[in-house]
A and B are shown apart, each in its own frame.
Chain A
Amino acid sequence: MKPKILTVDDSKTIRLIVAKAFKQFDCDVFEAANGVEGLAVANREKPDIIILDITMPIMDGAETLAKLKSNPDLKNIPVVMLTAEAGRENVLRIAKLGVRDYLVKPFKEDLLVERVGRVIELKAKGESLQRIRRFDDPLALLVVDDKPTIIEQISTGLSDTPWTVNGRSQMGEAVDFCSQHSPDAVVVSLSLPEGSGFNLFQMLRANSKTKNTPIFGMCVKTATEDQARAQQMGFSGVLNKPIDLEDLKAKIARSLKLDTSYKYFQVRSGILAVIIPTHASAATLNEVTQHLRAKVSEAVDSGISKLVLDLSLLKSADINLVKLGLETIQLCQELSLRQRVVASDSVRTECRNYEETKDWSFVGTFEDAAKVLNEPAMATAA
């Protein structure tokens, strides 16, 4: 469903500028010339975001915002305030109103789009027609290596996914495969004889069918010249042997923009659970971080006010995990979410080795967290 943007401004010029800024995106823009109209349109259309001017006749921005916040159907709609006045006092006043963001006129359209894009997902027109693929959708991978054990290792390692691994040992076979099938991604050894791995890359890039197919190189860590050459030529990435299969999955997912968020974000009993899997490599935590703001904002916009960071599958903690935890908790504070961290005693102890976790509120299970978070706010600290 297309996101809806409501612009409320007494200046027709500003309303047209806002509409123009979002013309290239797949969204609907609604207008209102003052706060009264704005509330009526908001009630009718339930926009995903409201861009609200401060100074307006009939009902100004501050009063409009207060009325939005007092309406249970509208209070969670994020508001970006527009103001012509950038003075310190005015900015502080706006910040106290409880808006998601603010923009000072004059503003570049790109900045408006960027700020709105932080709150709602904006897609270019046409892009949303392509179905977003998920990590658990079938994919066809081509692995080119003259060592059968490597192909076998990758095939076995990806057997927990619905991805099909097609192995070929020579450049010629790989080219034949690509002419008959369209692999979603290619992984090629950079140590193939006579540089044929690099030749394969060039041939695939020259072919219209495969010019945009992600192509990853494989080599041993010490083959620094091959790595440098691959990066220079424009390979999608380089994987070091022995292949870290979680890293391979993450790289392929990223290059194909596969939606992996469902693996880490689930709503249970009205609480957003951020679930860190057992093998939480740096790449995995990075993946979670990339989705974090969008998924938490999405949850808040749908009325969720509680979050659980679930570390119960982990056996240990490290600095990357602590960083993710800090970012999650900071985001909760920013968006006024109550939160708890679920972890075993051993993980809790390891987390406590980091000074930054001293304020983390740990519980043992998700159920314990739900019980605490569902208590009235006065009884517990957020």
Chain B
Amino acid sequence: MMCEDMDKLVESSVTEVFSTMLNFNLESVPPDDPLLNGEQHIASAVGFIGRLTGVVYLYVGSGFAVRITSGLVGIPANEIDGNEMVNDAMGEMANMVVGHIKSTLSDRGLPCQLTIPSIVRGNQFSIEPVSTTQRRVFKFKTGTDQLLVEMLIKPVGGH
């Protein structure tokens, strides 16, 4: 699969999920500035294993994560207590984005399985790929909120 096709697939999957589940219109912007702004941020990740192997991370600030959770479950943001519900919501968002990607890959003869979601929280961290892995970064904005999506992908069988 060409890089350009994969980029379009990731972008369309992310925008589709956020639009359908939350009515958020995400605008794709150049991923030049880092997301980090001193706020704690949360990365939810889901991997895929098959003809293509990789992992997709969704990075958002913790405030945006709470708003996403609130939009999904219908509980006001100020009533969302603790991390558990937010972790679950962000994990589910990553699951849906990668599920969407997986469906298209499967239809194109690149079947794969998904891993369970995982969550990382912190104020200052980054995830680095090893040298054999390709890295694609995407950034989206909606209002004042930002979302960074990172895909690390390792081809199997020469793709």
Taking Cβ atoms with an 8 Å cutoff, the residues of A that contact B are 11-14, 16-17, 20, 23, 55, 83-90, 104-108
Contacts and interface: CB of A to CB of B under 8 A. Distances in A.
Interface string B2-34: 000000000000001100110000000000000
B95 A84 contact: yes
Given A89-B106, A106-B17, A106-B21, A13 B114 contact: no
Given A84-B99, A85-B99, A106-B17, A13 B85 contact: yes
17 contacts: A13-B72, A13-B73, A13-B89, A16-B75, A55-B114, A84-B95, A84-B102, A85-B103, A86-B99, A87-B102, A87-B104, A87-B106, A87-B111, A88-B106, A88-B107, A106-B21, A106-B100
Given A14-B92, A55-B114, A106 B20 contact: yes
Interface string B55-78: 000000000000001001111000
B47 interface: no
B153 to A, nearest CB: 18
Given A85-B99, A108-B20, A13 B106 contact: no
A11 B72 contact: no
Contacts, number: 70
Contacts of A104: 103
A90 B96 contact: no
Contacts of A85: 99, 102-103, 106, 114
A109 to B, nearest CB: 9
A131 B3 CA distance: 61
Interface residues of B, number: 28
A87 B89 contact: no
Contact of B114 (A11, A84, A89, A106): A84
A9 to B, nearest CB: 9
B73 A16 contact: yes
Contacts of A90: 103, 106
A58 to B, nearest CB: 13
Given A16-B72, A16-B73, A106 B96 contact: yes
B71 to A, nearest CB: 10
B92 A86 contact: no
Contacts of B104: 87
Interface of B: 16-17, 20-21, 69, 72-75, 84-85, 88-89, 91-92, 95-96, 98-100, 102-107, 111, 114
A305 to B, nearest CB: 35
Nearest to B23: A108
Given A11-B88, A85-B102, 18 more contacts: A11-B92, A12-B85, A13-B85, A16-B72, A16-B73, A16-B75, A17-B72, A23-B74, A85-B103, A85-B106, A85-B114, A86-B99, A87-B104, A87-B106, A87-B111, A106-B16, A106-B21, A108-B20
A13 B103 contact: no
B20 A107 contact: yes
B74 A12 contact: no
B52 to A, nearest CB: 14
Contacts of A108: 20
Contacts of A89: 106, 111
B20 to A, nearest CB: 4
Nearest to A89: B106
A16 B68 CA distance: 14
Contacts of B111: 87, 89
Nearest to B18: A106
A17 B69 CA distance: 10
A87 B107 contact: yes
B102 A12 contact: no
B60 to A, nearest CB: 15
A84 B96 contact: yes
Contacts of A16: 72-75
Nearest to A14: B92
Given A55-B114, A106-B17, A13 B102 contact: no
Contacts of A17: 21, 72-74
Contacts of A86: 99-100, 103
Nearest to B68: A13
Nearest to A9: B92
A227 B27 CA distance: 51
